Amino acid sequence: MRRLVIGNWKMNRTVPETVALVGSLLARLSPAADREIAIAPPFTALSAVAPLLKGSAVLLAAQDLFWQDEGPYTGEISGVMLQDVGVSYVLVAHSERRRHLEETDRIAGLKVRAALRTGLKPVLCVGEDEVERASGRAFTVVRAQVARGLEGCVPGEASRLQVAYEPVWAIGTGRAASPAQAAEMHDLIRQELRAVLKDSARAVRVLYGGSVTPDNVDELMPAPGIDGLLVGGASLHAEQFARIASYR
């Protein structure tokens, strides 16, 4: 299984800034047979970035999508539109959308289905917050997020699915989960994947996200069950993201 590293730029960079950052990043990256690399710039920059990435070692991702393919949904972006512009991967239910926009597990499931229906590869984001971890509910929360987010998925779709474990208490805090904590939760996620997708669950990549930096990437990646990374702040700096994507 090829590993996957995705840079999530969130609500950062104008189109000219994005083009400059992509140029700097491409100059630092080279193809690697054992991993895929993708970046998720803002919606406004997708059309400008797509031709820059063509033929390169980097794929295009999007940060969100709507659960319908078209219709009277002002301000939303469909999977059809994303595929049309050249997007391969799409994040679903990132913790910031769950927290700030009150996205639910039901919405996450609808978006996963929409991504699969329109030819995209969804990255379902799951993870507990600090209170849930402190109260001993982390496993219960994450297990439910996986089950509800993948409701309706069938074994034949497993190879197009990704799950990203992003402990909310680690995002943007500089406090990454330890390799042991990440491995423990990834094992739990893998158990739930087997319950949903049976033997095909082995084809699903489980990524880690949460304060990934050049300083901790080489410690995180050997941890059992980590099939890739979802990188936030560090992906906005070409040198840092290139170092992370080139983990040893």
pLDDT at residue 107, as a whole number:
98
Domain containing residue 86: 3-245
pLDDT at 41: 98
Which pLDDT score, from 0 to 100, does residue 92 have?
A: 98
The catalytic residue among 96, 132, 166, 192 is: 166
172, pLDDT greater than 90: no
Whole-number pLDDT of residue 176: 86
Q: How confident is the model at residue 48 (pLDDT cuts 50, 70, 90)?
A: very high
The DSSP output letter for 204 is S
90 token code pair: 């799409």
Mean pLDDT, rounded, of the chain: 96
What local confidence, expressed as pLDDT, does residue 106 receive?
97
Q: What is the mean pLDDT of residues 131-154?
A: 96
Q: What is the mean pLDDT of residues 128-152?
A: 96
Residue 11, burial from CB neighbour count under 10 angstroms (0-12, 13-18, 19+): exposed
**Average confidence (pLDDT) over 105-111:** 98
100 is catalytic: no
Q: Give catalytic status of residue 166 as yes or no.
A: yes
Total structural domains within the chain: 1
DSSP per position, 136-188: T-HHHHHHHHHHHHTTT--GGGGGG-EEEE--GGGTTTS-PPPHHHHHHHHHH
Q: Do 51 and 12 contact (CB within 8 A), yes or no?
A: no
Annotated catalytic residue: which of 94, 96, 186, 192?
Answer: 94
Q: Would you say the pTM of this structure is higher than 0.95?
A: yes
Q: Are 162 and 121 in contact (CB under 8 A)?
A: yes
Decide: helix, strand or coil at residue 197. Answer: helix
Q: Residue 60 belongs to a domain with what CATH number?
A: 3.20.20.70
